[in-house]
């Protein structure tokens, strides 16, 4: 059976183009502490020069700078995922990221990898992220003290994006959390937040257990994590399992056999495309990656951190540490949808008083998307109104490989967040026209049940 290969085509759009919004988006923030130094790429005055620059090394430079905060590491040796040698053998350009040596790209450019993922598929190594399980009859009530999701209301085998909050209502981290069973919760946290997340969960776990709570945990260091994303993801993976993936929808979870390996499969991802995150025994990770690439007949390609960042930005998703931080609440970040209805009524999580007040009165700042002219907006670029008054700050910005135009996310004062609002974004001190737009920038393609 041959898989279809689809050349990706994009329509020309204007600043008035506003793709439909999607409730599964996360968000950024509004403070100097969260900035990355993203220098712009070209001083050419040609209206097409910035696009031309981005076709080559410019996009790599833009993405590298967007991720640069996470590149920083101490003198400790970089950790390697089980696929490290596989990446090197396949031409992966390895960079330090959150204490790990990870591929930022392969032979394909970041632009080509981004476009191919949306047209066909991409396979990502995300084994630097931390998977863990909570067990016990009180695992749900315990975790509900730390996150905003209505875990009790989830059906077994389903999950959602959630946020760990602190006592001030700020975001400690975002995470995809799944109720495997009533007494088993599985979640994945960000690599850069691993140590603080585990310390936070562990401290509260011990306190909870001392009060008689029945909950324990296990960190899945024995497993690796792959992300298979794009329109050919399901068709490719179906070759490797007897389970019917057509009945598995966005946000759902299964334990199943894939290519002979015992895997945890979640239909989710970080690209806005249909796809899966696959937790596989570490010793089987390379063999599974090879099998996926082989079954796709070369159409699904190894894809690095660079394209992953471009894809998530196009999808309106935040990168924790860039677009969301401990002083930004889920309400400010546009994640009110992730706060369960019961949780809005009852609270019971850290910072609930602050968050519920914001839900009632409205936040002072809000995360928004922008289309912009001139050089791509850099993180920490100032956002001003027509009169030149500062109204906010960019948290992620860059050139969209799929839309062929500049996109950005940032925080602005409430009241100036509505789509169509005109603004100026300062790059190297010079203002460029921008307009607030709905996110995601590229329509999402999550696999959901028919209505």
pLDDT for 323 equals 96
**Cβ within 8 Å of residue 167, ≥6 positions away:** 350, 351
Note if the bond before 440 is cis, omega within 30 degrees: yes
Q: Is the pLDDT of residue 34 over 50?
A: no
Q: Are residues 148 and 288 in the same domain?
A: no
Q: Are residues 64 and 205 in the same domain?
A: no
Per-residue pLDDT reduced to its tens digit, 236-279: 999 999 999 999 999 999 999 999 999 999 999 999 999 999 99
Q: Does residue 174 form part of some domain?
A: yes
Q: Are residues 164 and 52 in the same domain?
A: no
What percentage of the chain has pLDDT greater than the value 90? 83
Q: Are residues 102 and 239 in the same domain?
A: yes
**pLDDT confidence tier of residue 73, bands split at 50, 70 and 90:** low
Q: Are residues 180 and 250 in the same domain?
A: no
Last residue of a domain, one of 273, 290, 314: 314
Q: Are residues 233 and 118 in the same domain?
A: yes
Counting Cα atoms < 13 Å in the Cβ hemisphere of 242 gives 4
Per-residue pLDDT reduced to its tens digit, 327-367: 999 999 999 999 999 999 999 999 999 999 999 999 999 99
Q: Is the pLDDT of residue 83 over 60?
A: yes
124 - beta bridge partners? 227
Q: Does residue 347 form part of some domain?
A: no
Mean pLDDT for 191-212 is 98
Find the farthest-apart pair of alpha carbons in the chain and give their distance in angstroms, rounded.
Answer: 68
Torsion, CA 371, CA 374, CA 375, CA 378, rounded to 10: -50
**Cβ within 8 Å of residue 38, ≥6 positions away:** 62, 65, 66, 376, 377, 378, 379, 380, 381, 397, 398
The pTM score is 0.87
Distance CA 194, CA 129 (A): 8
Q: Are residues 138 and 162 in the same domain?
A: yes
**Strands 223-229 and 121-125, how do they pair?**
antiparallel
Q: Does residue 145 form part of some domain?
A: yes
Q: Does residue 107 form part of some domain?
A: yes
Q: Does residue 382 form part of some domain?
A: no
**Closest residue by Cα to residue 67 from 410, 367, 320:** 320
Mean pLDDT for 174-189 is 99
pLDDT for 28 equals 29
Q: Are residues 102 and 60 in the same domain?
A: yes
pLDDT for 149 equals 99
Last residue of a domain, one of 219, 242, 263: 219
145 close to 165: Cβ distance less than 8 angstroms:
no
**Cβ within 8 Å of residue 15, ≥6 positions away:** 371, 435, 437
332 annotated as a binding-site residue: no
Q: Does residue 94 form part of some domain?
A: yes
Domain hosting 268: range is 45-129+222-314
pLDDT for 330 equals 98
pLDDT for 20 equals 34
Q: Does residue 391 form part of some domain?
A: no
Q: Does residue 119 form part of some domain?
A: yes
Q: Are residues 116 and 226 in the same domain?
A: yes
pLDDT for 70 equals 59
**Cβ within 8 Å of residue 366, ≥6 positions away:** 332, 334, 411, 412, 414, 417
Number of domains forming the structure of the chain: 2
What percentage of the chain has pLDDT greater than the value 70? 84
Mean pLDDT for 130-157 is 99
Q: Is the pLDDT of residue 317 over 70?
A: yes
Report the CATH number that the domain containing residue 193 is assigned in CATH: 3.30.70.1400
Q: Are residues 120 and 253 in the same domain?
A: yes
**Cβ within 8 Å of residue 201, ≥6 positions away:** 132, 146, 217
Distance CA 117, CA 272 (A): 10
**pLDDT confidence tier of residue 60, bands split at 50, 70 and 90:** confident
Q: Is the pLDDT of residue 46 over 60?
A: no
Q: Are residues 109 and 228 in the same domain?
A: yes
Distance CA 11, CA 402 (A): 9
Per-residue pLDDT reduced to its tens digit, 96-125: 999 999 999 999 999 999 999 999 999 999
Cβ count near 235 (within 10 Å): 18
Report the CATH number that the domain containing residue 103 is assigned in CATH: 3.30.1360.120
Q: Are residues 227 and 307 in the same domain?
A: yes
Q: Is residue 302 exposed (0-12), middle (13-18) or buried (19+ Cβ within 10 Å)?
A: buried
Distance CA 160, CA 150 (A): 9
Last residue of a domain, one of 280, 314, 348: 314
């Amino acid at each position: 059976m041959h898989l279809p290969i689809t050349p990706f085509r994009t329509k020309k759009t204007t600043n008035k183009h506003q793709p439909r919004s999607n409730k599964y988006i996360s968000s950024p923030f509004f403070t100097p502490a969260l900035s990355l130094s993203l220098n712009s790429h070209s001083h050419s005055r040609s209206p097409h020069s910035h696009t031309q620059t981005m076709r080559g090394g410019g996009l790599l430079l833009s993405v590298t700078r967007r991720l640069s905060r996470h590149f920083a590491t101490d003198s400790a040796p970089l950790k390697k995922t089980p696929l490290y040698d596989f990446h090197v053998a396949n031409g992966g350009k390895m960079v330090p990221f959150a204490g790990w040596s990870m591929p930022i790209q392969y032979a394909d450019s970041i632009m080509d990898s981004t476009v191919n993922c949306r047209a066909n598929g991409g396979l990502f190594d995300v084994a630097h992220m931390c998977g863990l399980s909570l067990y016990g009859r009180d695992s749900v009530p315990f975790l509900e003290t730390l996150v905003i999701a209505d875990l009790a209301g989830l059906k077994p085998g389903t999950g959602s994006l959630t946020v760990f909050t602190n006592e001030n209502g700020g975001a400690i981290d975002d995470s995809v959390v799944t109720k495997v069973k009533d007494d088993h919760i599985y979640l994945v946290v960000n690599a850069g937040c691993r140590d603080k997340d585990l310390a936070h969960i562990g401290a509260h776990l011990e306190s909870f257990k001392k009060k008689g709570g029945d909950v324990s945990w296990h960190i899945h260091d024995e497993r690796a994590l792959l992300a298979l994303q794009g329109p050919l993801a399901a068709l490719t993976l179906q070759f490797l399992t007897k389970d019917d993936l057509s009945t598995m929808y966005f946000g759902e979870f299964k334990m199943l056999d894939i290519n002979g390996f015992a895997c945890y499969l979640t239909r989710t991802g970080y690209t806005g495309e249909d796809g899966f995150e696959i937790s596989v025994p570490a010793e089987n990770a390379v063999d599974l990656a090879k099998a996926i690439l082989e079954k796709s007949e070369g159409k699904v390609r190894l894809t690095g951190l660079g394209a992953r960042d471009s894809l998530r930005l196009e999808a309106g998703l935040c990168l924790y540490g860039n677009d969301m931080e401990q002083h930004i609440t889920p309400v400010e970040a546009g994640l009110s949808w992730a706060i369960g209805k019961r949780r809005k009524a009852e609270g019971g999580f850290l910072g609930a008083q602050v968050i519920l007040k914001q839900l009632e009165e409205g936040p002072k700042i809000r995360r928004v998307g922008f289309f912009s002219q001139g050089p791509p907006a850099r993180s920490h670029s100032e956002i001003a109104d027509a009169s030149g008054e500062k109204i906010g700050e960019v948290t992620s910005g860059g050139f969209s490989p799929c839309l062929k135009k500049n996109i950005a996310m940032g925080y602005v004062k409430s009241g100036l967040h509505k789509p169509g609002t005109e603004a100026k974004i300062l790059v190297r001190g010079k203002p460029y026209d921008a307009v607030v737009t709905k996110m995601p920038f590229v329509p999402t393609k999550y696999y959901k049940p028919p209505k």
